[in-house]
């Protein structure tokens, strides 16, 4: 890794900024090289590392640098003296060795699933837009490779009603078979993260096909499949206890009702004691319209009832949508937990009037937010609205790109990219009067984040010479955004550095943060164009609670979230 890194960096024209030179001089004691012990002190005092990791890293990095120097230049009298300024700068510019955030799982993973934000996909099988694109297992595979932990499959009968297809119903999207999706999930579920994969099933099937789904699921996943004994859970299990397990979340099937009219209401009254008339009517409308054929006799009905338990017993997370008012839907039951799905519009509506009810619901139950139906181009919404109200499953279209998706990718770079991020304690706590966190209430500033943008590097390696401008070098500038609760929103912009592939800004900004656990730092580099739209030069989004202090190499990504091989910024982060 060091050999490849060092040989590539020799191509760069970036020079160490004054602060890097000053740090080298300070810790080297004005010598031309920095010893292992001096480098260790730099890692502890300047970079904020603990002593154990600093000692290990210093020894390894200095030894590797000396070895590479010998291989490249031959023996030298200074080989035992430590690393020189150029090697020190190369280390600081390494996104692999000196990245901006923690790269290992470090959150407590033993709390219930409801205590975590979970990396969640929407219509995970679609390759493009919501109306006419292909359904495939390919986007499911890509999502799992990126750490997505919740995969959504819409299940519909085929024309012969003897098999199950996955597609966006009542559109022109082409289908893919359910079994192909399930097999791909099994193969790729844990390539990125060992923590559980949740499959959310949107069910449009007959009882016979539900039974077939149960058979497919159990045969495909085998011992990977987890499901509880009994009707439901009083508390969700933890991610740690569900490592390398796959769990199912869907609406439990209702008991089959073969008759129509007033007799339906009588049966519902028996099955749903205590339900309101509106709920019974709604049950008829939503549960019976596509679940039964009018010609079935009572024997077929009893057969259907027998098949449904085979499907129902596999459901770990019982799901549903609001059947009455949103306020009623958010009431917390004492004896069971569930998953509730709201559209982004419904969330905005209830958050405006009853935001604390949402927070209270998510302390024990799971809330899934999905894009509104008009997002036919597979665009997304602002995810931080859901997060600040405790919503665990903020479901996104992963096949596109754009600022909301960059934010989603940024949030789940936290906790080692495992797909589960522990929610802040304040979202899980009640006050002395049972009050809960209110996102609209401005809090005191908890800390100030000081960000310095030193320089940028790598465009000459990852882009053609004429990519940004045919006749001259590019004119880069950097934009910084804080995204989180409303009180923390902020944006800054560096000056434009003209005609330079290796821009040096040396600009510093201070951001006051009230809720750092919910805050993201979004960074975007643009190339200024006087007569047209500014060109895109790279982006990233970083969870502020995960930022490592000190001088760090910040890798940049393309529009779809793929990491550039070389493009990076050199930045400093301080918490004051």
d(CA 478, CA 553): 15
Phi and psi dihedrals of 528, rounded to 5? -65, 135
> What's the token pair of residue 371?
């894009």
Burial class (CB within 10 angstroms; exposed 0-12, middle 13-18, buried 19+) of 388 = buried
DSSP 504-518: EEEEEEEEEES-GGG
CB neighbour list of residue 40: distance below 8 Å, 6 or more residues apart: 54, 55, 58, 59
Active site residues: 122, 168
User: Residue 565 belongs to what H/E stretch?
Assistant: strand 563-575
The pairing of beta strand 490-493 with beta strand 164-166:
unpaired
Place of tokens 């982060």: 573
The whole-angstrom distance between residue 216's C-alpha and the CA centroid of its chain comes to 28
Three-state DSSP class for 146?
A: coil
Q: How many CB atoms lie within 10 A of CB 174?
A: 15
Taken in order 235, 228, 240, 368, is the CA torsion positive or negative? negative
Place of tokens 């899934």: 368
Q: Contact, 316 vs 249, CB < 8 A?
A: yes
Give the up-direction half-sphere exposure of residue 38: CA atoms within 13 A in the CB hemisphere: 19
Helix H or strand E encompassing 250: strand 246-250
d(C-alpha 355, C-alpha 371), whole Å: 19
Contact in structure between 104 and 60 (CB atoms under 8 Å): no
Is residue 2 within 8 A of residue 68, CB to CB? The reply is yes
Measured in degrees and rounded to the nearest 5, phi and psi for residue 221 equal -90, -25
- How many CB atoms neighbour CB 470 within 10 A? 7
Q: What does the block give as tokens for 559?
A: 């529009």
- Decide if 101 contacts 223 (C-beta within 8 A): no
Q: Whose CA is closest to 139, among 398, 334, 472, 393?
A: 398
DSSP reduced 3-state for 547: strand
């Amino acid at each position: 890794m060091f050999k490849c890194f060092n040989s590539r960096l020799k191509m760069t024209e970036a020079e160490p900024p004054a602060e890097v030179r000053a740090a080298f001089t300070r810790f080297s004691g004005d010598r031309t090289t920095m010893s292992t012990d001096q480098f260790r002190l730099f890692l502890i005092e300047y970079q904020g590392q603990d002593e154990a990791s600093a000692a290990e890293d210093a020894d390894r990095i200095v030894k590797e640098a000396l070895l590479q120097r010998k291989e490249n230049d031959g023996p030298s009298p200074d080989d035992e003296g430590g690393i020189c300024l150029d090697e020190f700068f190369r280390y600081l510019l390494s996104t692999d060795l000196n990245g901006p955030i923690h790269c290992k799982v470090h959150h407590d993973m033993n709390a219930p699933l409801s205590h975590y934000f979970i990396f969640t996909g929407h219509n995970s099988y679609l390759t493009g837009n919501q109306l006419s694109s292909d359904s495939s297992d390919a986007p499911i595979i890509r999502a799992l490779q990126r750490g997505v932990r919740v995969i959504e499959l819409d299940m519909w009968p085929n024309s012969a009603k003897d098999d199950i297809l996955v597609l966006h119903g009542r559109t022109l999207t082409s289908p893919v078979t359910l079994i192909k999706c399930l097999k791909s999930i099994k193969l790729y579920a844990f390539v990125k993260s060992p923590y559980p994969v949740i499959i959310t099933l949107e069910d449009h099937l007959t009882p016979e096909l539900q039974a077939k789904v149960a058979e497919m699921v159990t045969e495909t996943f085998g011992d990977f499949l987890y499901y509880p004994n009994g009707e439901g859970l009083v508390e969700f299990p933890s991610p740690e206890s569900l490592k390398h397990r796959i769990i199912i979340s869907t609406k439990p099937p209702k008991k089959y009702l073969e008759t129509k009219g007033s007799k339906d209401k009588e049966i519902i009254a028996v099955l749903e004691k205590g339900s309101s008339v509106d709920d019974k009517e709604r049950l008829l409308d939503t549960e019976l319209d596509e679940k039964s054929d009018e010609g079935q006799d009572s024997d077929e009905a009893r057969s259907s009832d027998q098949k449904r338990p085979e499907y129902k017993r596999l459901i770990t997370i019982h799901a549903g949508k609001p059947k009455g008012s949103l306020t009623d839907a958010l009431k917390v039951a004492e004896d069971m937990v569930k998953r509730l799905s709201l559209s982004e519009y419904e969330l905005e509506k209830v958050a405006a009037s009853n935001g604390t009810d949402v927070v209270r619901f998510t302390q024990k139950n799971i809330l899934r937010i999905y894009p509104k139906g008009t997002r036919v181009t597979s665009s997304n919404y602002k995810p931080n609205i859901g997060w600040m109200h405790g919503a665990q499953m903020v479901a996104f279209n992963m096949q596109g790109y754009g600022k909301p998706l960059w934010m989603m990718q940024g949030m789940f770079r936290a906790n080692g990219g495992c797909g589960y991020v522990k929610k802040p304690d304040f979202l899980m706590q009640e006050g002395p009067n049972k009050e809960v966190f209110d996102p609209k209430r401005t809090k005191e500033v908890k800390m100030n984040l000081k960000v310095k943008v030193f320089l940028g590097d790598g465009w000459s390696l990852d882009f053609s010479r004429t990519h940004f401008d045919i006749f001259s070098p590019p004119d880069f500038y950097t934009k910084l955004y804080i995204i989180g609760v409303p009180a923390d929103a902020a944006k800054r912009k560096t000056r434009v550095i003209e005609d330079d592939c290796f821009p040096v800004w040396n600009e510093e900004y201070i951001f006051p943060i009230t809720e750092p656990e919910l805050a993201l730092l979004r960074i975007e580099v643009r190339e200024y164009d006087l007569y047209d739209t500014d060109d895109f030069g790279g982006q990233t989004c970083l969870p502020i609670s995960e930022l490592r202090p000190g001088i760090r190499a910040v890798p940049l990504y393309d529009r779809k979230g793929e990491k550039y091989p070389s493009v990076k910024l050199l930045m400093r982060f301080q918490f004051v």
